[in-house]
Homo-oligomer: A and B are copies of this chain.
């Protein structure tokens, strides 16, 4: 499964910028892959890319139309289907990170078949994965873990990949969620895998590699999230991380979606993740803290990062504001 690029990013009739955040992530991290954007009448989102028709995009070499917009409910809107069918007729593949499947829309399934095009429903793994075998394999791996869900684990991993590649290191982002998969062009939505195969899917995603190659693995959930910790645990064991980066959002008053659950301390969270990771890689170490300070005043953010870094004895950075160079220095 490799989603072909270049992409045309489909924004549909997005009611606001936020609903196009998947497309925004793709445009931000893979600008070279994005030829333009396709917006339907009424679309309120704009990625600052060239507006293109399907025909223009195909003429420019586009290979895949990426549905980078989310409705409430994650469904494929009636109003999109005409454009999606026409994309297939023009020979484009379709890729989507929505809960609803492209393949479940009869017109799209038929259009893909008759045009030899592919439908990528990246939230729904189609591979069959083995049970994890826990065997040590060559290559190095870094995993981003979090105090909570949605604290910047994907962003941190992508920032690390970019910094490592800029230094000439061998590094590949390994995507475990839908936006990450559209950015990487491949990956596994590990939270959608059958529970027995979480670690096995992660081993599959991060196979043996050169001794000096780094897989930079996108973490999911949190060991301290009462809904999703099983996913986090399986990811930790399957990725056999050599290095952990702990991601955090300091202004959050409780765990996402769980008003009665406070966030863990950074110390407790790091220790729990290291303890879990030691099962499959006793040599694991923590190499940094990635903090999302977007809701803090710049002065407060700087003070928080300085205090946190000193307290934990690790580089503490905001990947957005500061980049991740001090963390990569530790690898």
Contacts and interface: CB of A to CB of B under 8 A. Distances in A.
A228 interface: yes
Contact of A261 (B134, B229, B233, B257): B134
Given A193-B195, A195-B234, 8 more contacts: A131-B257, A134-B227, A191-B195, A192-B194, A195-B195, A199-B228, A199-B230, A230-B234
A230 B231 contact: yes
Contacts of A235: 230
Contacts of A232: 230, 233
A244 to B, nearest CB: 17
Interface string A203-241: 000000000000000000001101111111111010000
Interface of A: 131-136, 190-196, 198-200, 223-224, 226-235, 237, 257-258, 260-261, 272, 275-276, 279-280
22 contacts: A131-B227, A131-B228, A133-B226, A133-B257, A134-B261, A192-B196, A194-B195, A195-B198, A195-B230, A198-B231, A199-B226, A200-B227, A223-B233, A224-B279, A226-B279, A226-B280, A227-B237, A229-B237, A229-B276, A230-B231, A230-B233, A232-B233
Contacts of A199: 226-230
Contacts of A224: 279
A192, A194, A229, A258 — which one has the most chain B CB atoms within 10 A of its CB?
A229
A227 B275 contact: no
A231 B192 contact: no
Contacts of A258: 133-134
A132 B231 contact: no
A258 B133 CA distance: 7
Contacts of A227: 131-134, 196, 199-200, 237
A230 B226 contact: no
Contacts of A192: 194-196
Nearest to A238: B226
Contacts of A191: 194-196
